[in-house]
A and B are shown apart, each in its own frame.
Chain A
Amino acid sequence: MVTLDLLEIVVTAFALFALSRVMLRMKDGKITKKEGFFWCAVWVLAIVLVFVKDYLNLLQDFISTRRPVDAIIYISIILLFYLVFRIYVKLDQMEQDITTIVRNRAIQRARKK
């Protein structure tokens, strides 16, 4: 019989919720299949880690946390930092693309006059 503490229930519920959002975004084409599979893998892994406590205990020993679920939270924070960084880089790229479009349009319109 698997027993879960409150934090583990919250993590599992949130992972299931996130998984459902990923599926929906994939279905309506807002994210590519590749991105969808990546995010599905991330959330499935989160759920698996909550239930497979042996692996978590190994991880817990490795990063010396008191409870297995703390390890997940620490790793999640690191992952979040990485994702924010990726988003910033992508946003920067988009800003540059917008500028290029604005520039080309300005020069083309001047040429037509």
Chain B
Amino acid sequence: MEGKVFIIIPAFNEGKKIGEVVASIRQEGYANLVVVDDGSKDKTAAVAAARGAIVLRHMINRGQGAALKTGIEYALQHGADIIVTFDADGQHHPQDIQHMIAPVAQGKIAVTLGSRFLGHSEVPPIKRLILKGGILFTRIFSSIWLTDVHNGFRAFSRRAAEQIRIKQDKMEHASEIIEEIVQKNIPFQEVPVTVTYTEYSKQRGQSPWNSLKIAFNLVWRKLTR
């Protein structure tokens, strides 16, 4: 029994792709689809709404972590039993949602984390290097070995979503979620997912410089918060 599933898609200037992403998820039979438009300057909100998504609109850009938290809060307020987070750039496959949800729906574990390295993804060499660095960084700071980090494909039970506190507004939230899972001893599992890199998703992805900034911010906030 899956219960009420909410799919949360944080989106910033994704007008070109969001319609396709929303339609493909709806085709898989998921009705509660929430697009959090994070202050986009293009038609992201209008396109997503036209394709049948519930659209929450940040009046100014606050970052992916903030958008995710907005979507999760909305889903919790509307009785979500399982919350899935999904990227807006079309690199995730909606067919993988059921694999992500299944272990949580069975009640075995509370969180599933998508792993592109367990799935059949062709990861570009530079991206692979950055991600491996992220894995090592996570090992040092969160004392956990994962096969993938900074993968936006996750599923949470209601209880886990209530427990995990996202304080980081920007991209650092991805490491923060893992840290919260470890600290609060929330049972989790990595699930193989396929990530398809297109020219569009490569343009939208994190640059090596941004990855360094994320690492610096994480260390700095650990010291100041």
> Does A96 count as interface, using CB distance less than 8 angstroms?
yes
> Does A98 count as interface, using CB distance less than 8 angstroms?
yes
A83-113: contact bitstring with B at CB < 8 Å (1 yes, 0 no)? 0010011001001101100110111011000
Shortest Cβ gap from B224 to chain A (Å)? 6
Q: Find out whether the CB atom of A99 lies under 8 angstroms from the CB atom of B224.
A: no
User: Interface size for chain B: under 10, 10 to 19, 20 to 34, or 35 or more residues?
Assistant: 20 to 34
User: Interface size for chain A: under 10, 10 to 19, 20 to 34, or 35 or more residues?
Assistant: 10 to 19
A38-76: contact bitstring with B at CB < 8 Å (1 yes, 0 no)? 000000000000000000000000000000000000000
Known: A88-B224, A89-B224. A102 touches B59 (CB 8 A): yes
Which residues of A sit under 8 angstroms from B59, Cβ to Cβ?
102, 105-106
Q: Find out whether the CB atom of B56 lies under 8 angstroms from the CB atom of A98.
A: no
> Does B54 count as interface, using CB distance less than 8 angstroms?
yes
Q: Which chain A residue shows the least CB distance to B69?
A: A103
Among B70-78, B82-90, B176-184, B191-199, which stretch is in contact with chain A? B70-78
Is chain B's binding surface mostly helix, strand, loop or mixed?
mixed
> Does B16 count as interface, using CB distance less than 8 angstroms?
no
Q: Report how many A-B pairs have Cβ atoms within 8 Å.
A: 46
Q: Among B56, B77, B167, B221, point to the contact of A106 (Cβ < 8 A).
A: B56
- Cα A98 to Cα B59 with chains together (Å): 11
Shortest Cβ gap from A81 to chain B (Å)? 13
Shortest Cβ gap from A105 to chain B (Å)? 6
Q: Find out whether the CB atom of B56 lies under 8 angstroms from the CB atom of A95.
A: no
Which residues of A sit under 8 angstroms from B169, Cβ to Cβ?
95-96, 99
- Cα A98 to Cα B63 with chains together (Å): 12
Shortest Cβ gap from A35 to chain B (Å)? 21
Known: A96-B169, A99-B66, A99-B169. A106 touches B58 (CB 8 A): yes
Shortest Cβ gap from B35 to chain A (Å)? 11
Which residues of B sit under 8 angstroms from A99, Cβ to Cβ?
62-63, 66, 169
Those of B185-225 within 8 Å (CB) of chain A? 221, 224-225
Hey, which bits of chain A sit against chain B, CB under 8 A?
Answer: 85, 88-89, 92, 95-96, 98-99, 102-103, 105-107, 109-110
Which 5 pairs between the two chains have the least Cβ-Cβ distance? A106-B56, A103-B70, A99-B66, A99-B62, A102-B58
